[in-house]
A and B are shown apart, each in its own frame.
Chain A
């Protein structure tokens, strides 16, 4: 017996709508469009996964209770957590939402929705905070790796914080060169990629984690390229279109690196090769 679709649709709209309400309009509509794409992807996944016809499953009262209790504990702790309060409050809300899903549609459905709900309710709202914390480490790592690469050449390279001294040239790896914008955009590219190319949470999570080294490698090469460009063409070349071209090339490189890393994981059989065991006979789902 199949469940009627409309209750799932209403629930999905409510869940996605609540998640979108949590977003800061300034963050979503502002410079980092990546945030908006991430939020929209999560909302679409919630809608997609809940609306799929599936046999009616009984709720999982115990998992619902455990999730609700965890949510309550985190929410009570949130006001005491200082700067982590928003993150804890958002996690608590996500857990309560998942507990409602577990109570209504069972623990399996809650597990299916866990990632998009956590992304929509927790990751996107706290991403600016996360990025602020990540900015300096990324700058420092990129500068360190770029210095090591440039040191292979004829002149010695010294590094002070995030400033490279290469002969008479000084290159500062500023916040704008930290690779954060690259990372913001690669997160949603990575998410879509792992959804479409892999099955199973562990494989998807492992591949998605490799977005970070891909960004780091691409950004390091970008810093090296800019330093070489400044050395050969003069420092004024850093404010010209060459800088933009190198930036775009780094984006392409990061994406290609990430896609190439897919080969570290076992191949996934094509949809047509696998028997479809779900009711309704649908296939091609990105929600499994």
Chain B
């Protein structure tokens, strides 16, 4: 690693606590635009509930670091190694605004507060407050969902998002304790400005590589002809959406849920959510995880491609999901579609909403639930084969005349 350097800081005229006050004000200002979203989601989404606990833990850690005098030795002016970090978080905020990603804005808000602490309180405080930044980030909405996805991606046994976040927070705080020990022994590595630049470049490169290896995918638009209630061996009926679904999609333009049943007793559920604002749409894993379903791997093990192939008979770029809850087994497929294209992921949704802001999007979730031991995929595939498909979602067709 780049050789670290230790800098001697002289006693400043401008004391510690006024600087802390400025940091707190800076953090509050930077987080203010995202505050309503953060607090609102803590109350509405089961996956994000208890997020305030992580904020409290982060504040507690920060307070402890300051109260123990571990951040003493701050510079007379500003620590120059904090500037690259500030610049990095300004870039993140810019990207969040440009792509309309609220999580990026909120992360940037936390990061700007941390960078302000680094600048004003010095590198030692910056390094010691890093666990605060990361633990607070765990309290942000969507982080639980992302962690859950990453955990499942590693093939590890399912675990509630809150437990995952709590475990990670514990590890981070233990890491913080190690930093404290190093600080006490005078062996805490303090990066200089160039090392800070490299750190920012490396984190940016890591984020860019994540996007490069998981690019958003797009397919042709696809929607269900909703005015046909009987086709093939299927009969449909509109039903009331569950309270959790109504709560999650409260701001959407239209929420429609229908059940299709076949003569041989198979049942398939279709959920359609239309919205002009992409923020109103979520991936189904988000609400399924929040309502007690444990997300698993698709039976086919094959991704759903626009070509359909052997996975599922679909033309849209879609995602296949399976889930289990007690003795229930769920198989489903979902995609977001506008008038011009479909996409299976939120990145694609945000990108498409930027490329064609006038096009409303609709989420299609088609799922079948069966008792354990039966295959939920069988009725799902039968329905997908026989359903009357349109080239574009209803709302988009209506809007475009």
Of B2, B202, B206, B212, which one neighbours A89 at CB under 8 angstroms?
Answer: B212
Q: Does A107 contact B (CB under 8 A)?
A: no
Q: Does A142 contact B (CB under 8 A)?
A: no
Q: In angstroms, how far is the closest chain B Cβ from the Cβ of A187?
A: 26
| A118-B325 Cα distance, complex, nearest whole Å | 47
A68 and B3 in contact (CB under 8 A), knowing A79-B216, A92-B205? Answer: no
Contact across chains for A69 and B211 when beta carbons are under 8 A apart: no
Contact across chains for B1 and A59 when beta carbons are under 8 A apart: yes
A99 / chain B contacts, CB cutoff of 8 Å = 198, 201-202, 205
A72 / chain B contacts, CB cutoff of 8 Å = 201, 204-205, 207-208
Q: In angstroms, how far is the closest chain B Cβ from the Cβ of A150?
A: 44
The residue of chain A having its C-beta at the shortest distance from the C-beta of B3 within the complex is A58
A64 / chain B contacts, CB cutoff of 8 Å = 2, 198
A65 and B3 in contact (CB under 8 A), knowing A71-B208, A85-B215? Answer: no
A61 and B194 in contact (CB under 8 A), knowing A75-B211, A89-B212? Answer: yes
Contact across chains for B209 and A68 when beta carbons are under 8 A apart: no
Q: In angstroms, how far is the closest chain B Cβ from the Cβ of A93?
A: 6
Q: Does A78 contact B (CB under 8 A)?
A: yes
A59 / chain B contacts, CB cutoff of 8 Å = 1-3
| A78-B209 Cα distance, complex, nearest whole Å | 9
Q: Does A192 contact B (CB under 8 A)?
A: no
Q: Does B17 contact A (CB under 8 A)?
A: no
Contact across chains for B205 and A71 when beta carbons are under 8 A apart: yes
Contact across chains for A75 and B212 when beta carbons are under 8 A apart: yes
Q: Does A104 contact B (CB under 8 A)?
A: yes
A104 and B1 in contact (CB under 8 A), knowing A68-B198, A89-B212, A92-B212? Answer: yes
Q: Does A103 contact B (CB under 8 A)?
A: yes
| A88-B207 Cα distance, complex, nearest whole Å | 15
Q: How many inter-chain residue pairs (CB < 8 Å) link A and B?
A: 76
Q: In angstroms, how far is the closest chain B Cβ from the Cβ of A39?
A: 19
**Interface of A (DSSP majority class):** helix
How many residues of chain B have a CB within 8 Å of chain A? 20
Q: In angstroms, how far is the closest chain B Cβ from the Cβ of A83?
A: 12
- Among A59, A72, A85, A89, the one with the most B-chain Cβ atoms within 10 Å of its Cβ is A72
A71 / chain B contacts, CB cutoff of 8 Å = 205, 208-209
How many residues of chain A have a CB within 8 Å of chain B? 27
A89 / chain B contacts, CB cutoff of 8 Å = 209, 212-213
| A113-B353 Cα distance, complex, nearest whole Å | 42
B211 / chain A contacts, CB cutoff of 8 Å = 75-76, 78-79
Q: Per-residue 0/1 for A43-71: is the Cβ within 8 Å of any B Cβ (1 yes, 0 no)? A: 00000000000000011011011001101
| A59-B209 Cα distance, complex, nearest whole Å | 23
Interface residues of A in 71-130 (CB under 8 A from B): 71-76, 78-79, 85, 88-89, 92-93, 95-96, 99-100, 103-104
Q: In angstroms, how far is the closest chain A Cβ from the Cβ of B134?
A: 21
The residue of chain B having its C-beta at the shortest distance from the C-beta of A76 within the complex is B208
Contact across chains for A92 and B208 when beta carbons are under 8 A apart: yes
Interface residues of B in 265-290 (CB under 8 A from A): none
Q: In angstroms, how far is the closest chain B Cβ from the Cβ of A22?
A: 10
Q: In angstroms, how far is the closest chain A Cβ from the Cβ of B349?
A: 15
Q: Does B195 contact A (CB under 8 A)?
A: yes
Q: Per-residue 0/1 for B215-257: is the Cβ within 8 Å of any A Cβ (1 yes, 0 no)? A: 1100000000000000000000000000000000000000000
Q: Does B78 contact A (CB under 8 A)?
A: no
Contact across chains for B194 and A65 when beta carbons are under 8 A apart: yes
| A67-B211 Cα distance, complex, nearest whole Å | 18
Contact across chains for B209 and A103 when beta carbons are under 8 A apart: no
| A220-B165 Cα distance, complex, nearest whole Å | 64
Q: Does B197 contact A (CB under 8 A)?
A: yes
| A61-B197 Cα distance, complex, nearest whole Å | 9
| A92-B213 Cα distance, complex, nearest whole Å | 10
Of B3, B197, B209, B216, which one neighbours A75 at CB under 8 angstroms?
Answer: B209
| A75-B203 Cα distance, complex, nearest whole Å | 12
Q: In angstroms, how far is the closest chain B Cβ from the Cβ of A18?
A: 12
Of B2, B3, B197, B209, which one neighbours A96 at CB under 8 angstroms?
Answer: B209
Interface residues of A in 216-259 (CB under 8 A from B): none
| A69-B215 Cα distance, complex, nearest whole Å | 20
- Among B1, B3, B206, B209, the one with the most A-chain Cβ atoms within 10 Å of its Cβ is B209
Contact across chains for B212 and A69 when beta carbons are under 8 A apart: no
| A178-B321 Cα distance, complex, nearest whole Å | 44
- The 7 A-B residue pairs whose C-beta atoms are closest, nearest first, are A75-B208, A78-B212, A89-B212, A68-B201, A72-B205, A79-B215, A75-B212
Residues of chain B having any CB pair with chain A under 8 Å: 1-3, 194-195, 197-198, 201-202, 204-209, 211-213, 215-216
Residues of chain A having any CB pair with chain B under 8 Å: 58-59, 61-62, 64-65, 68-69, 71-76, 78-79, 85, 88-89, 92-93, 95-96, 99-100, 103-104
**Interface pairs (30), CB distance under 8 Å:** A59-B2, A61-B194, A61-B198, A65-B194, A65-B197, A65-B201, A68-B198, A68-B202, A68-B205, A69-B204, A72-B208, A74-B212, A75-B205, A76-B208, A78-B211, A85-B212, A89-B209, A92-B205, A92-B208, A92-B212, A93-B209, A95-B205, A96-B202, A96-B206, A96-B209, A99-B201, A99-B202, A103-B1, A103-B2, A104-B2
18 more A-B contacts (CB under 8 A) besides A68-B205, A72-B204?
A61-B2, A61-B194, A64-B2, A65-B194, A65-B201, A69-B204, A69-B205, A72-B205, A72-B208, A74-B208, A89-B212, A92-B209, A92-B212, A95-B205, A96-B205, A99-B202, A100-B202, A103-B1
